[in-house]
Amino acid sequence: MIIYSRNRRLRTSASMRALVQETVLTTNDFVMPIFVMEGENKQEAIASMPGIYRRTLDLTVKECQELFSLGVKAVNLYMKVSENLKDNRGTESWNKNGLMQNTIKAIKDAVPEMIIMPDVALDPYSIYGHDGIITNGKIDNDATNDALVKMSVSHAEAGADIVAPSDMMDGRVAAIRTGLEESGFTDVGILSYAAKYASSFYGPFRSALDSAPVDNQDIPKDKKTYQMDFHNSREAIDEVLKDVAEGADIIMIKPGMPYLDIVAKVRDVIDLPIAVYNVSGEYAMLKAAAQNGWLDNDKAIIESLTCIKRAGADMIFTYAAKEAAILLNN
């Protein structure tokens, strides 16, 4: 029997495989999430995320310089906020002299070409650990949107290139777009967490920022009234299309690896760039397995990130960005 079609012909050597490779991962695909804390010349290891640290502003700037030299051209900023600065409305989030605003300015001064995407959500600034303002025991969607607009405009004033609302309030993209336009920031983009699921994979992140919902019987015990139910996929399409119509420039899907079916479905219906968040729990699992000798760390990092891009991502938010950049450069 003659086999006329043999797929293995195009796998015969490394050069042949490279010639027909469909998905190519590069450092241009990465956005590095960064945790910033108050103080000077200090860093704190995050136990559940090996290799990841909370850093003071000065060390954060040095880290951004190193990232840019490796080819990582975008960072996503999160603040570890002091307890005395937290309240129900998250007012510290739009303080012109706040840690976030000063960090944006310092990075822009040191690395002008670095794309800065600050997180827009109230949970790090909230006494309740929620992404929204609490009114009568519930998340107040519209009051929260007003706060998010103030936060976004303050980030733009500090020099942010793109604001990244991760709160999942209804209508916040339109509100933020209007606020930016009215304030003259027509070039500042919006990366919308359009399909952000209520996931168990966020645990290490919340411990890094101390931003989990507090244990209080008078408020929602979790974030399921605004983050999406992980059983649903059609709902994700609806959320994405609404944010596109409201003026989002980039769409985020979060988490990453367990939700690649959502990435592929969204890729089929929109032409905007898609970001995917390879979240803290995914990173922690990979690191734990590698430390136990169950996985090859380097190969697993590159494979997992390539799979996210293959599913349809244009950019990947990942705590492995620096490590992956070093691997790719070598």
196 is catalytic: yes
Instruction: Show the tokens assigned to 100.
Output: 């976030």
Q: Which of 80, 223, 254, 265 is flagged as catalytic?
A: 254
Q: Which of 196, 223, 309, 322 is flagged as catalytic?
A: 196
The answer to whether residues 318 and 31 touch, using CB atoms and an 8 Å cutoff, is yes
Interhelix angle 280-291/297-311, rounded to 10 degrees, is 150
- Closest Cα to residue 49, out of 320, 231, 268, 329? 320
CA distance 165 to 48: 25
Helix residue spans in 20-94 (DSSP H): 57-70
- Closest Cα to residue 115, out of 61, 60, 73? 73
CA distance 194 to 173: 9
List the catalytic residues.
Answer: 196, 254
